[in-house]
């Protein structure tokens, strides 16, 4: 198994990496569709739209449900989605083994950060309700800096805040946004096989290692 040396910090994506947020996102999406008089969708269809931001999710859901241009309904739909998602976002649960893995990584004296495109209001609700925020040294949300992943800015900001060089950091995620952001920022990139890839392959030369479960991180970092 590949080993990583001189690692000081691990940055984690949130949706599809630390947390299974699909059930709550599906609920909010279907409530939104119902309120704008569109057909509700099966959860697996909505889940296939997750991973590239709420705006993309909303537009895809409207298009799939009605076959019409989503822009005419988008502004109203976005407000409705936010109305419903704030009600249940914090109910999202971490994947099995996440807390145990974070605990073990902290014992290795690593700094840990969550770097997500999810807005701060939802990010903090989820992390605080679950208690996982206690393991994190930094949380960077989708509205913390002016650009989101796949732009490297959130990772560069995180490195600056934690006084790290990019080659001391591993970015762990489930999607191309995480891969591109990590590669562009100069961090190592590790992928998990579950999560939300919105139909895109995460097999890439830009990935340093693909783990089978999050606990593998404990064994590959010296």
Domain boundaries, the chain: 9-19+94-220, 22-91
pLDDT of residue 90: 97
Q: How far is CA 213 from CA 89, 191, 193, 197, in A?
A: 24, 9, 8, 16
Both structure tokens of 45: 């269809």
Residue 102 φ/ψ, nearest 5 degrees: -60, -40
Active-site residue list: 13
Domains 9-19+94-220 and 22-91 share a fold: no
Assign domain 9-19+94-220 to its CATH architecture. 3-Layer(aba) Sandwich (3.40)
**Residue 196: predicted pLDDT:** 84
Return the bridge partners of 111, or none.
Answer: 9
- Which parts of the chain have pLDDT scores under 50? none
pLDDT at residue 69 in the model: 86
pLDDT, residue 17, reads 97
**How confident is the model at residue 199, as a pLDDT?**
66
Centroid of chain to Cα 7: 21
pLDDT value of residue 203: 85
Which DSSP string corresponds to the chain? ---B-S--EEEE-SBTTTEE-HHHHHHHHHHHHHHTT-----HHHHHTTTTS-HHHHHHHHHHHHH-S-THHHHHHHHHHHHHHHHHHGGG-EEPTTHHHHHHHHHHTT-EEEEE-SS-HHHHHHHHHHHTGGGG-SEEE-TTTSS--TTSSHHHHHHHHHHT--GGGEEEEESSHHHHHHHHHHT-EEEE-SSS--TT-----TT-SEE-SSTTHHHHHB-
Q: What is the pLDDT of residue 202?
A: 83
Domain 22-91 has CATH 1.10.443.10: no
């Amino acid at each position: 198994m590949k080993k990583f040396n001189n690692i000081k910090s691990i940055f984690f994506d949130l949706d599809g990496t630390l947390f299974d947020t699909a059930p709550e996102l599906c609920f909010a999406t279907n409530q939104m569709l119902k309120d704008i008089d569109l057909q509700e969708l099966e959860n697996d269809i909505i889940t296939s739209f997750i991973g590239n931001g709420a705006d993309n999710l909303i537009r895809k859901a409207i298009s799939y449900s009605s076959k019409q241009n989503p822009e005419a309904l988008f502004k109203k739909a976005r407000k409705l989605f936010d109305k419903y998602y704030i009600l249940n976002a914090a109910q999202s649960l971490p994947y099995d083994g996440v807390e145990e893995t974070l605990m073990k990584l902290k014992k290795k004296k690593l700094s840990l950060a969550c770097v997500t495109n999810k807005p701060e209001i939802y990010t903090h609700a989820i992390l605080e309700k679950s208690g996982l925020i206690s393991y994190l040294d930094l949380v960077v949300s989708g509205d913390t800096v002016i650009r989101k992943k796949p732009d490297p800015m959130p990772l560069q900001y995180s490195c600056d805040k934690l006084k790290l060089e990019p080659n001391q950091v591993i970015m762990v995620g489930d999607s191309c946004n995480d891969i591109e952001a990590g590669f562009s920022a100069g961090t190592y990139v590790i992928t998990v096989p579950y999560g939300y890839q919105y139909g895109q392959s995460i097999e890439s030369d830009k990935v340093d290692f693909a783990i089978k479960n999050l606990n593998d991180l404990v064994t590959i970092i010296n």
